[in-house]
């Protein structure tokens, strides 16, 4: 897959293509990242790429012509048709489903705005879609483009060492991921839940599914409204919720706004407290993990 990033800070682009999964995917020939600077296409001694907004007001606006000339060169650099995305707080929210959609394109052009943004006429004429990475305003589109690049790159076949890990991630099946543990088994901060050491793959899968459902209920109940749950899923969630209530917690933690708080103290061991419940614990006192059945 080919990425072309149009940015006034090409060094930034080079950096975000150099590390981790994106860097490795590049080394494996799974993707290539190319930076383009609209300033190289600007005219005059000052190579100006921005000007004052018509109608007055603060800030500057990125001009059409340098961007247009730059994009023409970007398109001409490779015969693969390009899907052009403008990173914008006004765009469609970036979700895992959107990431998958983007990953299906053979070539993405990510346009990074600066200042007040880009002349609207350029956007209307040249851009296929606008994408936002969240309801906040960054000073430039580079970080947003880096987020898209990273999320799309790790979905390229062969980019991850274990392809299964992407399938199990949060949002892939509409739910949050289950909690994870590694060595040591016993620790002052808690013990690994025994089921994970049992070697019983069916029980482990059931436990993970229940934690995933419970964690989603605790932290992102909005996702549950959209998720397709089987009869078995509903039963697992019901058991989780019953255990949560039996442990003395409020019946709907999301309503109290405590669902994302880290447990106030880490004295109880992980095997004593339901992991997903523990992360959302409002008050100490939960002592029983919900049974997986
Ligand atoms: N005036 C613009 C608005 O309110 O819609 C914001 C301009 S912002 C200061 C400068 C650039 O940062 C934008 O052109 C865009 O490329 C990028 N940007 C800012 N917030 C973003 C977000 N949440 N997602 C994606 N890109 C963003």
DSSP state for residue 248 in the 8-state scheme = T
Taking CB atoms and a 6 Å cutoff, what residues make up the pocket around ligand 1?
87-90, 112-114, 116-117, 132-134, 136-141, 144
pLDDT at 227 over 70: yes
**Tell me, what's the pLDDT at 48?**
97
Q: Give the mean model confidence (pLDDT) for residues 139-157.
A: 96
**Tell me, what's the pLDDT at 173?**
86
CA distances from 197 to 18, 125, 204, 272, 293 (A): 37, 58, 9, 15, 18
Identify the residue whose C-alpha is closest to ligand 1 atom 26: 88
What tokens appear for 243 in the block?
């255990």
User: Is there a cis peptide before residue 75, judged by omega within 30 degrees of 0?
Assistant: no
pLDDT at 263 over 60: no
What tokens appear for 147 in the block?
């987020």
What tokens appear for 108 in the block?
């993405």
What tokens appear for 78 in the block?
């490779």
pLDDT at 166 over 60: yes
Within the chain, all domains assigned CATH 3.40.1280.10 are found at 2-153
Q: 199 Cβ partners below 8 Å, 6+ apart?
A: none
- Say what the pTM is: 0.87
Q: Give the mean model confidence (pLDDT) for residues 35-46.
A: 96
CATH top class, domain 2-153? alpha beta
**Tell me, what's the pLDDT at 18?**
92
How far is residue 40's CA from residue 142's CA, in Å, rounded to a whole number? 18
Identify the residue whose C-alpha is closest to ligand 1 atom 13: 113
Residue 261 sits at the vertex; the CA angle it makes with 260 and 263, to the nearest 5 degrees, is: 130
Q: Give the mean model confidence (pLDDT) for residues 14-36.
A: 92
Identify the residue whose C-alpha is closest to ligand 1 atom 6: 116
How far is residue 106's CA from residue 31's CA, in Å, rounded to a whole number? 10
Going by pLDDT thresholds of 50, 70 and 90, the confidence category of residue 260 is low
Q: Give the mean model confidence (pLDDT) for residues 43-72.
A: 97
Question: Phi then psi for 143, rounded to 5 degrees?
Answer: -65, -40
Q: Packing angle between helix 142-153 and helix 96-103, nearest 10 degrees?
A: 80
Give 174-211 pLDDT, tens digit per residue.
999 999 999 999 999 999 999 999 999 999 999 999 99
**Tell me, what's the pLDDT at 217?**
97
pLDDT at 269 over 50: no
Q: Which of 8, 67, 89, 109 to mutate to test the pocket of ligand 1 (most atoms within 8 A of CB)?
A: 89
Give me the percent of the chain exceeding a pLDDT of 90.
75
Q: Give the mean model confidence (pLDDT) for residues 254-276.
A: 46
Is 168-280 CATH 3.40.640.10?
no
Going by pLDDT thresholds of 50, 70 and 90, the confidence category of residue 278 is low
Antiparallel, parallel or unpaired: β 61-62 and 50-51 = antiparallel
**277 vs 64, which has greater pLDDT?**
64
How far is residue 138's CA from residue 150's CA, in Å, rounded to a whole number? 18
Going by pLDDT thresholds of 50, 70 and 90, the confidence category of residue 162 is confident
Within the chain, all domains assigned CATH 1.10.1270.20 are found at 168-280
**Tell me, what's the pLDDT at 77?**
98
- The single residue of 154, 208, 209, 215 carrying the catalytic annotation is 154
Give 75-116 pLDDT, tens digit per residue.
999 999 999 999 999 999 999 999 999 999 999 999 999 999
How far is residue 292's CA from residue 289's CA, in Å, rounded to a whole number? 9
């Amino acid at each position: 897959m080919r990425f072309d990033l149009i940015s006034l800070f090409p060094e930034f682009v080079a950096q975000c293509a150099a590390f981790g999964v994106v860097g490795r995917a590049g080394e494996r020939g799974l993707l290539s990242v190319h930076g383009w600077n609209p300033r190289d296409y600007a005219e005059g001694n000052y190579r100006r790429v921005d000007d004052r907004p018509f109608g007055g007001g603060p800030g500057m606006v990125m001009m059409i012509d340098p961007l247009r000339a730059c994009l023409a060169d970007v398109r001409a650099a490779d015969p693969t048709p390009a899907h052009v995305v403008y990173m914008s707080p006004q765009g469609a929210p970036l979700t895992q489903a959107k990431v998958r959609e983007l990953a299906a394109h053979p070539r993405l052009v990510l346009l990074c705005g600066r200042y007040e943004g880009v002349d609207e006429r350029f956007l209307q004429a040249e851009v296929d879609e606008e994408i936002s990475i969240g309801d906040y305003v960054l000073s430039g589109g580079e970080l947003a483009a880096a987020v898209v690049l990273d999320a799309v790159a790790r979905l390229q076949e062969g980019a991850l060492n274990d392809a299964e890990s992407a399938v199990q991630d949060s949002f892939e099946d509409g739910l949050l991921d289950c909690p994870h543990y590694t060595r040591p088994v016993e620790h002052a901060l808690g013990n690994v839940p025994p089921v994970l050491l049992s070697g019983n793959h069916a029980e482990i899968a059931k436990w993970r599914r229940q934690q995933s459902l419970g964690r989603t209920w605790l932290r992102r109940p909005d996702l549950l409204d959209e998720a397709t749950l089987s009869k078995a899923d509903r039963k697992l969630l019901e058991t989780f919720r019953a255990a949560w209530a039996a442990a003395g917690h409020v019946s709907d933690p999301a309503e109290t706004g405590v669902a994302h708080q880290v447990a106030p103290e880490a004295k109880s061991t992980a095997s004593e407290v339901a992991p997903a419940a523990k992360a959302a614990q409002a008050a100490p006192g939960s002592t029983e993990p919900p049974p997986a059945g």
